Chain A
């Protein structure tokens, strides 16, 4: 054992010595010293007639690396990236089915467990179909464009050699908010309608030959979103986000909303609130999308703090206000009926969230590693913060507090995961845990609204903190994409002319207003037509029996 330790010490010392030497040599162009020569020649035997300096070798290696790098970006599609994002998509679905269904299912009373799980499932199915028909197109289409004459800096119209006026395509202002219908029914995404059908031709001798149309059956990458994965992969990944967002709102209206009204609300909300907001933050030509240099007001939302959590959390508050309190709230005890289900669901959410955040790098690269690490460390800190606050202020650290803290941390680190360092993420997560303990445990009771499972208290409050904290803990070189995609923005942030926190606050405000107004209009429309709430008798009986004719737990059998 001692020998082993000694050996490793010696190795470390050797390595240190070697690196000091390496630092000394570059620039001095000294010939390779005899001591280091055997190792170097073993790695890359140099031609005997032409001894090379270390500098020359280094240049050769760098050139090789650069060539390899260039060839990667030229061969756009990357199977590793594609695989990672497809797996991430499945992980994000795991968050809703069964993660969220179990988490929420355990938190309601026994008589509503099935109806709560059913809400997650039906939202997943409805959103999937809507997404394929028009949802993806509205959120991620390029929006309305116009063709204009190309002009130079002095305003002269540019012409080519033959005197033909050159034109370019420009996005109209509406393209900042609405993606349009060019990808409806997944055209140009999973299939391509411009690809003509296979034709058979018969020559003079009566020999039949097949004429295969040009182009691929499944479209390849779409560079504005990600150059190394299929456009279809990106669409699927985004679909899973679109599923969980309306499903999160269930937490506020649980135990009292009509099934039919729930289906209608979720569908309308997806099209009128989620899709435009997703377009603004992530879509091509989107209002806040910093990936496009023409952006007016950059906001940094790595994986959906504003789009997913603030929007759903604020909509949740609106549903709670429009529906009113559950019968008997807050005097009748409404304890979670099965915290073991909730525990299982919450921990599945944690696992699935790695797809949500680290998958949002869209490549299996270093950025994905950073996002993965930030997600994990922030969550661990938050899952300590909430029960610790309980321990201090209420006497005991509860299990529900710990799992709620984990969710709060995941929510808060979502926008930050690709823009901060793990130490920032830990601070951000811990604060999120304590803050959401306050919003769900104190603020809600003071204000008196019945957000049944704290969708507002955790997702909106945690989401807002996360968005602002992304600005506070912003570490610009964490995400190399900022510099490469938008150098002007990068420079203005570094020299201090652009305030990240201010930009974040602006995006938060827009998300809050859009979601509050959009949700209110939809809720009001449903309230005065279909009706939002079940009858008092149905509420007493429980939604499982009254809406679905089943019970989650039966005595005999």
Chain B
């Protein structure tokens, strides 16, 4: 079992969700996050006062999958999460982590069954 965490552009959320749906990954958790990396920030002006905003809005997906689903999930996110053909700085990252256990609260099932 693996935990996949992906940080993506907020505008790509719908496309990524659809793309994941196509490979039958239908369980995910989404949160609004802020962060910065190579994309740097932008400036905002309020009554002539300029602010450099280097914390940018992103969306984070958390998807717990069984091992055979890892590659299709990653590919689906890459396919739909890129800006344009080439992709752009700021399109985000995917992290894959080992998942020690998984428990379904309703039934108490454990392991791959519960995912």
Chain A residues proximal to chain B, CB less than 8 Å:
330, 333, 335-336, 390, 394, 396, 398, 400-401, 404, 437, 440-442, 444-445, 454
Other-chain contact of B51, A335, A398, A440, A454 (Cβ < 8 Å) = A335
B47-63 contacts to A (CB < 8 Å): 47-49, 51-53
Other-chain contact of B48, A333, A335, A336, A445 (Cβ < 8 Å) = A445
Contact of B46 with A442 in the complex, beta carbons under 8 Å: no
Other-chain contact of B49, A396, A404, A437, A441 (Cβ < 8 Å) = A441
A400: which B residues are within 8 A, CB to CB? 46-47
B45 at the interface (CB under 8 A from A): yes
Nearest A-chain residue to B53, judged by Cβ: A333
B86 at the interface (CB under 8 A from A): no
Contact of A440 with B44 in the complex, beta carbons under 8 Å: no
**How far apart are B113's CB and chain A's nearest CB, in angstroms?**
31
Contact of B48 with A442 in the complex, beta carbons under 8 Å: yes
27 contacts between A and B (CB under 8 A): A330-B49, A333-B51, A333-B52, A333-B53, A335-B44, A335-B46, A335-B51, A336-B46, A390-B45, A390-B48, A394-B45, A394-B48, A396-B45, A398-B45, A400-B47, A401-B47, A437-B48, A440-B47, A440-B48, A441-B47, A441-B48, A441-B49, A442-B48, A444-B48, A445-B48, A445-B49, A454-B47
B45: which A residues are within 8 A, CB to CB? 390, 394, 396, 398
B64-100 contacts to A (CB < 8 Å): none
Q: Which label, helix, strand, loop or mixed, suits the secondary structure of the B interface?
A: strand
Chain B residues proximal to chain A, CB less than 8 Å:
44-49, 51-53
**How far apart are B103's CB and chain A's nearest CB, in angstroms?**
23
**How far apart are B19's CB and chain A's nearest CB, in angstroms?**
30
Q: How far, in angstroms, from A442 to B47 measured CA to CA in the complex?
A: 9
Nearest A-chain residue to B49, judged by Cβ: A445
Q: How far, in angstroms, from A390 to B48 measured CA to CA in the complex?
A: 8
B48: which A residues are within 8 A, CB to CB? 390, 394, 437, 440-442, 444-445
B47: which A residues are within 8 A, CB to CB? 400-401, 404, 440-441, 454
Nearest B-chain residue to A438, judged by Cβ: B48
A404: which B residues are within 8 A, CB to CB? 47
Q: How far, in angstroms, from A333 to B48 measured CA to CA in the complex?
A: 13
A336: which B residues are within 8 A, CB to CB? 46
**How far apart are B29's CB and chain A's nearest CB, in angstroms?**
16
A437: which B residues are within 8 A, CB to CB? 48
Q: How far, in angstroms, from A398 to B46 measured CA to CA in the complex?
A: 8
A398: which B residues are within 8 A, CB to CB? 45-46
| Extra inter-chain contacts (19) besides given A394-B45, A401-B47, A442-B48, CB under 8 Å | A330-B49, A333-B51, A333-B53, A335-B44, A335-B46, A336-B46, A390-B45, A394-B48, A396-B45, A400-B46, A400-B47, A437-B48, A440-B48, A441-B47, A441-B48, A444-B48, A445-B48, A445-B49, A454-B47
**How far apart are B44's CB and chain A's nearest CB, in angstroms?**
7
**How far apart are A312's CB and chain B's nearest CB, in angstroms?**
18
Nearest B-chain residue to A453, judged by Cβ: B47
B46: which A residues are within 8 A, CB to CB? 335-336, 398, 400
Q: How far, in angstroms, from A414 to B45 measured CA to CA in the complex?
A: 29
B44: which A residues are within 8 A, CB to CB? 335
Nearest A-chain residue to B50, judged by Cβ: A394
Of the candidates B47, B51, B52, the one having the most CB atoms from chain A within 10 angstroms of its own CB is: B47
Q: How far, in angstroms, from A335 to B51 measured CA to CA in the complex?
A: 8
A333: which B residues are within 8 A, CB to CB? 51-53
B53: which A residues are within 8 A, CB to CB? 333
B51: which A residues are within 8 A, CB to CB? 333, 335
**How far apart are B31's CB and chain A's nearest CB, in angstroms?**
12
The 4 A-B pairs of least Cβ separation, nearest first, read: A441-B48, A333-B51, A440-B47, A441-B47
Q: How far, in angstroms, from A396 to B44 measured CA to CA in the complex?
A: 10
**How far apart are B14's CB and chain A's nearest CB, in angstroms?**
24
Q: How far, in angstroms, from A237 to B65 measured CA to CA in the complex?
A: 68
**How far apart are B54's CB and chain A's nearest CB, in angstroms?**
10
**How far apart are B83's CB and chain A's nearest CB, in angstroms?**
23
A445: which B residues are within 8 A, CB to CB? 48-49
Q: How far, in angstroms, from A333 to B43 measured CA to CA in the complex?
A: 11
A440: which B residues are within 8 A, CB to CB? 47-48
**How far apart are B20's CB and chain A's nearest CB, in angstroms?**
27
Q: How far, in angstroms, from A268 to B31 measured CA to CA in the complex?
A: 49
Q: How far, in angstroms, from A400 to B46 measured CA to CA in the complex?
A: 7
**How far apart are A519's CB and chain B's nearest CB, in angstroms?**
23
**How far apart are B41's CB and chain A's nearest CB, in angstroms?**
11
Q: How far, in angstroms, from A401 to B49 measured CA to CA in the complex?
A: 11
**How far apart are B35's CB and chain A's nearest CB, in angstroms?**
16
Nearest A-chain residue to B52, judged by Cβ: A333
B49: which A residues are within 8 A, CB to CB? 330, 441, 445
Of the candidates B46, B48, B49, the one having the most CB atoms from chain A within 10 angstroms of its own CB is: B48
Q: How far, in angstroms, from A465 to B45 measured CA to CA in the complex?
A: 25
Q: How far, in angstroms, from A437 to B48 measured CA to CA in the complex?
A: 8
A394: which B residues are within 8 A, CB to CB? 45, 48
**How far apart are A103's CB and chain B's nearest CB, in angstroms?**
13
Q: How far, in angstroms, from A398 to B52 measured CA to CA in the complex?
A: 16
Q: How far, in angstroms, from A336 to B47 measured CA to CA in the complex?
A: 10
**How far apart are B53's CB and chain A's nearest CB, in angstroms?**
8
Q: How far, in angstroms, from A336 to B45 measured CA to CA in the complex?
A: 11
Q: How far, in angstroms, from A181 to B30 measured CA to CA in the complex?
A: 66
Q: How far, in angstroms, from A330 to B46 measured CA to CA in the complex?
A: 13
**How far apart are B115's CB and chain A's nearest CB, in angstroms?**
27
**How far apart are A7's CB and chain B's nearest CB, in angstroms?**
56
**How far apart are A449's CB and chain B's nearest CB, in angstroms?**
13
Of the candidates B46, B49, B51, the one having the most CB atoms from chain A within 10 angstroms of its own CB is: B46
